[in-house]
Chains A and B, each alone.
Chain A
Amino acid sequence: MTDAVLTFAQTGPRKVDFFSEEAMARVQKRYRAEARFKAYGLGAVVLAGIFVVILLADIVSKGLPAFFEHRIALTVTLDAAKIDPEGKRDIEVLRAADYQRLIYDGLREEFPGVSDRRDRRKLEGLVSTGSGNDLRTLVLRNPSIIGQKTTLPVLLSDDADLYLKGIGTRVERAVGKGTLDIKQQGKTVELVGSAGAFAAPLADVKARLKRLASATEFELQGLSAAQATANAALEARREDLTARVKDFRQRSGDPASAETLDPATMPSELVEIAGGLVRLTEIAPGRAAGVVLLPLAADATRSDSWHRTTYTTPESNRRITDIEIAWLESLRGRKLTEKGFAWRFFTNGDSREPELAGIRGALIGSALTLAVTLLFCLPIGVGAAVYLEEFAPKNRLTDILEVNINNLAAVPSIVFGLLGLAMFLNFFGLPRSAPLVGGLVLALLVLPTIIIASRAALKAVPPSIKEAALGVGASHQQAIFHHVLPLAMPGIMTGTIIGMAHALGETAPLLMIGMVAFIVDIPQAISDPATVLPVQIYLWSDLPEVAFQAKTAAAIMVLLAFLFVMNGAAILLRRRFEQRW
């Protein structure tokens, strides 16, 4: 400003040519700055929107599979001697029988060739350890089926389920060319064909070796020579890598040499032939050797109809082995697998087995906790709001109260957890992990929100209403409770619902008062140990099983659905009942 004044004093009125090149350029520059500034603003809003979309898409894509489960239609022989040896149909005896064993037996009948103990374990591992309970329920409901054969859907274990959902490995299948001679020797098989019979798999293996060589070389470059010489362990690693690069280069360089397949680095190559499945361990252009996964026809010596199958992920990089995939594919080929909605996600409590774990316990825990919260904070919140808005004298004490409530709204939630721990658990001796205590802590947490919302709603009611009531002889309290409060109710309800939604999503204070325990039972009362939905999400997110990741995301979807419904209800309430005066 001073500059301008000086200029003016020295030179008189400044003449600006608004249409000069420079002036036009300046204006253009300012307009560009304007457009840029506006774009930044729009960009910020769009960025926030994009984040919300990414977050929701990520959660939904992770969680959606958990709403479905795979089952196999298994035929089980309900052997009376095994279920009810005495034949009295005593309910206790029926309940105690080993139904899981019956399911395993039924599964083994599907794959009669499995005799090795380790393989048997693996086969049994395909079905969930909870599947016996389903059979038990079935038998207890209708004991007359004992002694018969029955076909029932049997829940698969989490790994098998994940594989059938397409998480695990990709399976490629191609028709094999030419005729193969089969030489079976116990578990090993040699397949001999024309010179080019195994050219395709061999070429893939060589290509893979080439890629491995480059990848290893890249890793080798990362290890700087100077660093390596100083450190013996690094030096050894360097030498190892150098040797491997050389080996890979040499093997991939010769297209005709035979290869052995290493399950740690190579995709699994298999051959479907003569009704069975062979995993190749050695490939040469015209012949291959392998081990039998699914038994071949015993008398087969020659076949011209065969398929090459590849499991693209190397076996040691996935949770499910080749033989398990072979079984599952065989079951799928026989149309025995089925995909269904996972109702048990909503009807089961928590479990260590991902395929059995459900959110019912957490949902009921949340409902009980929120009930306690609502019971406490609605009357108290409304009471406090009515007092502050209508009855409080304008003095210092009221001022302190107000500042206090505003500050309380911004206290970190975990501090409320500390309060709950020190006050409710240690001082009052209330039970740990109980919805009662959780509800009380959350009530204190959302109380400021409800008080502030209720005060705003009360303030919005025009004073003429109260004055009219007072004018016809109502007492102060009658005017407020009979006339002002009912009119403020929609606003108060909106605030309460938003407060409840906040309480529903709150986790940290509940961790402090012990609502994080692994609880299988569905809570029945507000003093039972329980957990709530967000805490369940936290607990599951910590578990190592891949299947629990999907369960976590699915539980989040349920939580978000509840929150959307609650917030939607609040908005609807506001739109429908709020009056503009």
Chain B
Amino acid sequence: MVHREAFVAGLYFILMIVLALGAFIITRSSAARLAGTATIHSRPTYHGLLAAMQVFLPMLAILFFGSLLATRFVEQQSLAAMDPALLADELHRGAAYRDIRRFAAGGAVANATDGLKAGAATFAYLNTLTQWAIAGIGLSAGLAGLLFGLRTVTAEFRARNRFERIVAALLLACAGLAVLTTVGIVFSVLFETVHFFQKVSPVDFLFGTHWSPQQAIRADQGGASGSFGIAPLVVGTLLISTIAILVAGPIGLFAAIYMAEYASPKFRAWAKPILEILAGIPTVVLGFFAALTVAPVIREVGTALGLNVASESALAAGLVMGIMIVPFVSSLSDDVITAVPQSLRDGSLGMGATHSETIRRVVLPAALPGIVSAFMLAISRAVGETMIVVMAAGLAANLSFNPLDAVTTFTVQIKTILVGDQEFDSAKTLAAFALGFVLFFFTLTLNVIALAIVRKYREQYD
């Protein structure tokens, strides 16, 4: 089933490319022939490119929007055959549609009703139909584009201008995609968050001190609603981030100072790549290291000192996360320290201050806004980091400030809730999106402030 769909899609893609190439070659040679007899406005290549675009773009648009519409249409039609009582809400509809698709694909579905079978038959029929319909419409559009391209090959036709206008629009669309991504993020988390707040009050969410999103599967069972107070998560996230910044702050800042002020070019050539390696290590690797090497060491040391250390302590995750964000702090701080005008240093040195006095009293205060923003960006990294905490910090939502306890974070909870089977529309799943919203909002605020500081500060010395 899936394979046939993929096959049709693949065929469509190949046809799209072949048609576009064909349009390019045919139209170009046609224009070239014309160029032999008359002076034409645009070079033959532009006629060809324009024709190829006229084939390619409509076909792509038809595939995209056609599939989108077709999926909705097929879902609606195949569910129409089923008992409406079973389709009371989005949750049931989704489940029923999944069953229909599985049944249509030849899979086994426990106690399949007649409605389901009818739905599956409709699904199989309509799915094939819409696919071929899309393919047919797309092909005719492509051919129409080709014919249109051929017909417009005339001496006066401004093919280059037309083509460049299309390219300019495409470029704008590319840049717009970045905005679209942000809008997409905001909508996808905001939408579900609003849903979530219809089920759980925002006050409970923001100020509750108990987090246990586990819920009974059916609404009529006891203890149906979990508790969704994010205080333990906020504390856990802040605890780990604080440990991380306590590690990364001094190391990163001193490393940046040394690299910018003291290091010989030779030393820099050695040390820079080391920090770049550190920045390039995937977080899943650091998580493995934290969970299997650092955490046991901390536990052993703690036990030897007579302390009670949880096997998934915040300290292990925080330490390794601190190491992870050292390159962020150091490279950004390095940049701002280097950007401090030499005249300030010369003035201080000329007054007889030592190098370190110059750095501490003159360079660092001048670079302070930039350093602050470097720290903020690093904190935002630490708060949003997932793999290290997933692997090395626990799931237990303890409201604890003790770095030797197991704590949990926003990202760990989002991952735990959303990995594996989930039902949409349950408060638990929606809670993950609400957490994502808080996370996004928090890091975004930090970033916006940090970047604004950097921007303003750059202008100051430019």
Contact = CB atoms under 8 A, between A and B. Distances in A.
Given A51-B323, A413-B384, A549-B292, A380 B419 contact: no
A456 to B, nearest CB: 14
B293 interface: yes
Contact of B386 (A41, A44, A58, A413): A413
Nearest to B444: A407
Contacts of A232: none
Contact of B451 (A58, A403, A507, A528): A403
A477 interface: yes
A418 B434 CA distance: 11
A33 B356 contact: yes
B89 to A, nearest CB: 15
Contact of B282 (A414, A514, A542, A559): A559
B411 interface: yes
Contacts of B356: 33-34, 36-38
Given A411-B185, A422-B188, A507-B283, A48 B251 contact: yes
B179 interface: yes
Given A44-B250, A410-B447, A414-B414, A552 B280 contact: no
A545 B55 CA distance: 56
A41 B181 contact: no
Given A410-B377, A426-B424, A44 B181 contact: no
A17 B440 CA distance: 61
B129 interface: no
Contacts of A40: 254
Given A408-B178, A507-B284, A47 B377 contact: no
B387 A407 contact: no
* Chain B contact patch, size range: 35 or more
Interface in A463-508: 475-477, 501-502, 504-508
B448 A407 contact: yes
A549 to B, nearest CB: 7
A147 interface: no
Interface in B275-292: 275-278, 280-289, 291-292
A367 interface: no
Nearest to A549: B292
B178 A447 contact: yes
B144 interface: no
A384 B174 contact: yes
Given A38-B258, A508-B411, A511-B419, A415 B280 contact: no
Given A45-B259, A505-B284, A404 B182 contact: yes
B33 interface: no
A400 B179 CA distance: 9
A475 B188 contact: no
A52 B206 CA distance: 39
B357 interface: yes
A559 to B, nearest CB: 7
Interface string B248-268: 001111110111011100000
Nearest to B414: A414
A295 interface: no
Interface string A535-547: 1011001100000
B88 interface: no
Contact of A512 (B3, B250, B419): B419
B188 A419 contact: yes
B196 to A, nearest CB: 13
Contacts of A331: none
Contact of A410 (B255, B278, B414, B443): B443
Interface string A126-149: 000000000000000000000000
B363 to A, nearest CB: 12
Contacts of A38: 258, 262, 355-356
Interface stretch (A75-83, A93-101, A347-355, A386-394): A386-394
Interface stretch (B134-142, B165-173, B220-228): B165-173
Given A418-B188, A534-B282, A444 B181 contact: yes
Interface string A393-431: 000000011011111101111111111011100111101
A556 B171 contact: no
B178 to A, nearest CB: 5
A419 B181 contact: yes
Given A44-B252, A421-B418, A447-B181, A391 B171 contact: yes
Contacts of A410: 377, 380-381, 443, 447
A404 to B, nearest CB: 5
Contact of A475 (B160, B274, B327, B383): B160
Contacts of B168: 387, 391, 477
A167 B6 CA distance: 47
B189 interface: yes
A451 interface: yes
B271 interface: yes
B405 interface: no
Contacts of A37: 355-356, 359-360
A312 B25 CA distance: 78
Q: Is chain A's binding surface mostly helix, strand, loop or mixed?
A: helix
A461 B185 CA distance: 34
B184 interface: yes
Contact of B255 (A31, A41, A477): A41
Given A411-B440, A512-B419, A383 B391 contact: no
A98 to B, nearest CB: 28
A314 B292 CA distance: 24
A541 B292 contact: yes
A42 B258 contact: yes
B272 to A, nearest CB: 10
Interface string A556-575: 10011001000100000000
B212 interface: no
B2 A527 contact: yes
B280 A567 contact: yes
Given A44-B251, A508-B386, A501 B188 contact: no
Contacts of B275: 45, 48
A401 B178 contact: yes
Contacts of B192: 422
Contacts of A41: 254-255, 257-259, 261-262
Given A415-B185, A415-B189, A52 B439 contact: no
B312 interface: no
Interface string A513-543: 0101000000001111000001101100110
B394 to A, nearest CB: 13
A165 to B, nearest CB: 18
Most buried by A among B188, B278, B355: B188
Given A31-B354, A48-B255, A404-B179, A415 B440 contact: yes
Nearest to B260: A41
Given A34-B355, A380-B177, A384-B174, 11 more contacts: A34-B354, A45-B255, A47-B251, A48-B326, A49-B274, A401-B175, A408-B178, A408-B182, A412-B384, A417-B418, A423-B188
The 10 closest A-B pairs by CB, nearest first: A412-B384, A41-B258, A505-B282, A383-B174, A422-B188, A44-B254, A37-B356, A508-B386, A387-B171, A384-B175
25 contacts: A34-B355, A37-B359, A37-B360, A41-B257, A48-B278, A58-B293, A384-B175, A387-B174, A406-B447, A407-B182, A411-B444, A412-B411, A413-B386, A415-B189, A415-B440, A418-B433, A418-B436, A475-B164, A476-B164, A504-B282, A505-B281, A508-B390, A511-B386, A556-B284, A556-B288
